[in-house]
Amino acid sequence: MMDWIQAFPKKHGPLQGFDNVWKGSPLYPGFLVPIKAYDDIAQWQGKEMRNLGCCIMGVLAVALRQPHSSQVIPCKHAIGCIRVLVDFTMMAQYRSHTSDTTAYMEHYLDQYHRLKGIFLEFRVTKRTLAKVDAQRREIRHCRTILSQPVAPSKRRRSPHNDREKEHEQRMDLIHRESHFHFIKIDLLTYFSDHIRQFGNVPMYITELGDLAQKQQIEDR
């Protein structure tokens, strides 16, 4: 999700605007105001991710508050997708659960699956990028072979049409090859069943063990 949040504003609006809102978050008890730009954070630890969950919806909504007419629907879907992921995460941290809370979690997950396609182009693998490069080279090679003298009016329109066609083919390949089947998302499907069988998720948090191990290393 952190990578999607960075990539989406970069495509649909100035990333600098997002960073300005990110670092301009007001003080609040228990909340650490970010001092680095979003993309300057090299490693997200548990503390940073909890801090992110406290403010990301407000930051994203403000950064995308004035989209162009062609970007209204993508921005709406992106904000909706991030919202249900944040809602799911916050509810998963409850110390106790009922049938209602687990039903809410499943509803949030269903909403995520309905909206996640807006981020599909940012799930591109290196293998897919290699295919995109190969496709681009093939298109341009064919264009060179088939090029013929044309009237000046058509010659002026041709580069624009070629760029549009190339972009459409690129996006079609990316959407065919990309997917959301990776472990951190697939595991969310099992959260509600885990809670029903074993109790709340925070009981199994590994952060205390990690802190104890870190302290032991520092004491040596």
Taking 70 as the threshold, does the pLDDT of residue 84 lie above it? yes
pLDDT in tens, 158-174: 555 667 777 677 777 77
Output the pLDDT for position 173.
73
Taking 60 as the threshold, does the pLDDT of residue 209 lie above it? no
The three-state secondary structure class of 28 is: strand
Output the pLDDT for position 160.
57
Taking 60 as the threshold, does the pLDDT of residue 105 lie above it? yes
Output the pLDDT for position 110.
94
Q: Which residue would you say has higher pLDDT here, 15 or 24?
A: 24
Question: Per the confidence metrics, is the pTM higher than 0.85?
Answer: no
Question: Average of pLDDT values for 111-136?
Answer: 80
Cα–Cα nearest to 85, from 200, 212, 219, 185: 185
Residue at token pair 């595991």: 187
Cα–Cα nearest to 101, from 205, 204, 1, 201: 201
Cα–Cα nearest to 136, from 85, 170, 97, 175: 170
How far is Cα 80 from Cα 210, in angstroms, rounded to an integer?
A: 33
The pair of structure tokens assigned to 183 is 């472990």
